Amino acid sequence: MTTLKVGVIGAGSISSTHLQAYSIHPEVELAAIADLNEGRAQEKAERFGIPHIYTDYKQLLADPAIDAVSICTWNNTHAEIAVAALEAGKHVLCEKPLSQTVEQAQQVEAAVKRTGKLLLVGFVRRYSDQVKLLNKYREAGAFGDIYYAKASIIRRLGNPGGWFSDKERSGGGPLIDLGVHMIDVCWYLMGKPKVKSVSGNTYRQLGNRSHVEGLSFYQAADYDADKKRC
């Protein structure tokens, strides 16, 4: 049995999902973790038995023993780190969104073609039981010729706070954070057709609810529930 040595870049909240899955996979060995916050990386390393800790992801990528990486950093770094990882000879699992711009996505695509390495974006919703069932109906031709699709999503208590509301790091708002999941599910269930054109609207008006007692608790609970559904 071949063992895949994996490094995780970014030790924030979403990294726990990756680390937990890797830790119980019989063909994976967690080899390293990198984060700008050394204390946070240390905590995850101790929790999951990871031998190597870095504060610079480039040092992690320089380790020839590492076969693949998960990218769990701020959105504005995904494309840059993905290209660097591919160039370093690593397979890549990248949290969504892949990039902030089309140009960045094309740079990642070019790196995949150039290196021959695998890259997967974490569009986890297409692997849910509901979507798998719907896809079986599609493959059986039950939907006929699909010519139109529409989807929407609402996070009941707004954004989780922190860097999610920082446009520089997040790259946008609910469209680039949650909307990409719904777009991917629609596209996937339509048989992944070649896209001819895209149009959309997004809004950034957020109400001030800092005065609502207990909101932060319920907001955190809602975010945790969202992660579990993923």
pLDDT on residue 203:
67
C-alpha distances (whole Å) from 116 to each of 80, 105, 106, 113, 214 are 17, 16, 15, 5, 50
Instruction: Please confirm whether the linkage preceding 97 is cis (ω < 30° from 0).
Output: yes
Dihedral sign for Cα 47, 177, 168, 222, please.
negative
Tell me, yes or no, whether 86 and 140 share the same domain.
no
Report, as an integer, the average pLDDT of 62-81.
96
DSSP three-state, residue 205: coil
Span 207-226, mean pLDDT? Answer: 54
The verdict on 102 and 14 lying in the same domain is yes
Would residue 164 count as lying in a domain?
A: yes
- On the question of pLDDT at 63 being above 50, the answer is yes
CA–CA distance, 103 with 118 (Å, rounded to integer): 20
Same domain, 82 and 8: yes
Q: Which amino acid is at 20?
A: Q
Biggest distance spanned by C-alpha atoms of the chain: 56
28-56 pLDDT per residue, tens: 999 999 999 999 999 999 999 999 999 99
Averaged pLDDT, 57-73: 98
Query: Does any domain span residue 212?
Result: no
Same domain, 51 and 91: yes
Q: How confident is the model at residue 95 (pLDDT cuts 50, 70, 90)?
A: very high
- Which range of residues forms the domain containing residue 149? 125-207
Predicted pLDDT at 177: 80
Asked whether 30 and 8 are in contact (CB, 8 A), the reply is yes
Can you give the pLDDT at residue 1? Answer: 65
CATH assignment at residue 110: 3.40.50.720
SS3 state of residue 176: helix
pLDDT reading at 133 higher than 50: yes
Residue whose pair of structure tokens reads 């997004």 in the numeric block = 202
Over residues 175-184, mean pLDDT = 86
Whether 116 and 14 share a structural domain: yes
Query: What does the DSSP assignment read for 60-79?
Result: HHT-TT--EEEE-S-GGGHH
What is the spatial distance between Cα 157 and Cα 182, in angstroms, rounded to a whole number? 18
What's the total number of domains in the chain?
2
- pLDDT band at residue 227 using 50, 70 and 90 as cut-offs: very low
User: Which of 122, 143, 175 lies at the terminal end of a domain, its last residue?
Assistant: 122
pLDDT band at 219 (very low <50, low <70, confident <90, very high): low
Q: What value does the mean pLDDT of the chain take?
A: 87
Give the confidence band of 210 by pLDDT, cuts at 50, 70, 90: low
Same domain, residue pair 134 and 116: no
What is the structure's pLDDT at 228? 46
Judged by average pLDDT, the poorest of 18-27, 85-94, 155-164, 186-195 is 155-164
Q: Are residues 88 and 131 in the same domain?
A: no
